[in-house]
Structure 1
Amino acid sequence: MKKIVWIVVANRAAARLFQVTQPTGPLEELDAFIHPEGRLQEHDLVSDRPGRAFDSYGAGRHAEDPDTAATEQEATNFAVQLSRFLHKARCERKFDALVLVAAPAFLGALRERLDEPTRERITLEVDKNLVQRKAGEIRGHLPVKLYSAVGG
């Protein structure tokens, strides 16, 4: 039986979706996702200076730190967007197995946003930022036989 393995290669600003239909086959690019806000720096995302508060002791004041940095929130937003896409694709039976290749911090954010049935389809995770690399180079970071992890 022919198995379809999807490979998601991502960072906080972009993602590429590849497919493999043969155990040792090349990557076929299916789609690309761009999240321009993920490229912005903290000061570009937040227009206001942080709030000020009085020190608990003495007459000093200090800036309040936000609970979540704006760049981290944008990465989370993109992870949610990708997880919804993957959830829908899994429900439509578009892939049998999933491989995640992502920048280390984004890999964790993406994994946390995936629903349990989609997470169960993950057969391999590679914590590298390879979004800008060519398909052949990305394939070089994956096992020669991708189906071995799917049992095919």
Structure 2
Amino acid sequence: MSIKLKRGLWVVVADGEKALFLRNQGDNKFPKLEVVYEMEQENPPTREQGTDKPGRYAEGPRSAIEDTDWHRLNKERFAIDIADRLYKLAHRGEFDAVVLIAPPQVLGEMRQKLHKEVDEKIQAEIPKTLTNHTISDIENLLRAA
């Protein structure tokens, strides 16, 4: 995979709780990513979100209903929020090309929700968790890709 780090390229680094929208102010040889927008969602573990006991269908040994995974559902909702934000930015002509960097599951959720207008501008997808990395670490990864 070869990523052309042209000036103005957007890079979205996300996980299930945080997203950084970065714009390259440099070039292919010397990328200089600057934060344009940041999104965060508080998403505690499911055990801290749901307190009810699982429901039951009827009496019997296999009657329990599986607990809702609130943590996973919030990650999916956050992926939808990121996809919506990307659509609004693309629709306003804010970027011509974008690179998505997220864990595989989040990337999959986002991909399902992306509008065609955004999908056409995706230059690359990198299935990694980089939200806790520095901007220079992200620049180095992109340069190496």
TM-score range, shorter chain: 0.7 to 0.9
Structure 1 contact 19–30 (Cα < 8 Å) conserved: yes
Q: Partners of 2:100 and 2:83 in 1: how far apart?
A: 12
* Contact 1:11/1:129, CA 8 A, preserved across alignment: yes
> Higher Cα Rg: structure 1 or 2?
1
The 3-state SS of whatever aligns with 1:89 is helix
The alpha-carbon deviation at position 144 of structure 1 amounts to 5.4
User: For residues 61 and 75 of structure 1, what CA distance do their matches in structure 2 show?
Assistant: 29
Identify which of 4, 9, 33 aligns with 1:5: 9
- Runs of 5+ in structure 2 lacking a partner? 1-5
| Aligned with residue 54 of structure 1, among 34, 55, 58 | 58
Report the Cα offset of residue 80 of structure 1.
1.3
- The 2-side partners of 1:137 and 1:91 are apart by 30
Correspondence 1:142 to 2:139: no
* SS, match of residue 57 in structure 2: strand
For structure 1, the 5+ residue unaligned runs are 146-152
* SS of residue in 2 equivalent to 1:63: coil
Measured on the aligned residues, the alpha-carbon RMSD in Å equals 2.0
Distance 1:111 1:125 in 2: 10
Distance 1:4 1:11 in 2: 23
Residues 49-84 of structure 1: CA deviation (Å, up to 9, x unaligned): 2102336xxx43542115x62222101111111111
Would you say 1:128 and 2:131 are equivalent positions? no
TM-score, normalised to structure 1, is 0.81
**Fraction of identical pairs, as percent:** 27
Aligned residues: 138
Greater CA deviation, 20-29 or 103-112?
A: 20-29
TM-score by length of 2: 0.85
Name the SS of the counterpart of 1:142 in structure 2.
helix
The structure 1 segments of at least 4 consecutive aligned residues displaced by more than 6 Å after TM superposition are: none
**Hey, what does 1:106 align to over in structure 2?**
106
* Paired position in structure 2 for 1:42: 46
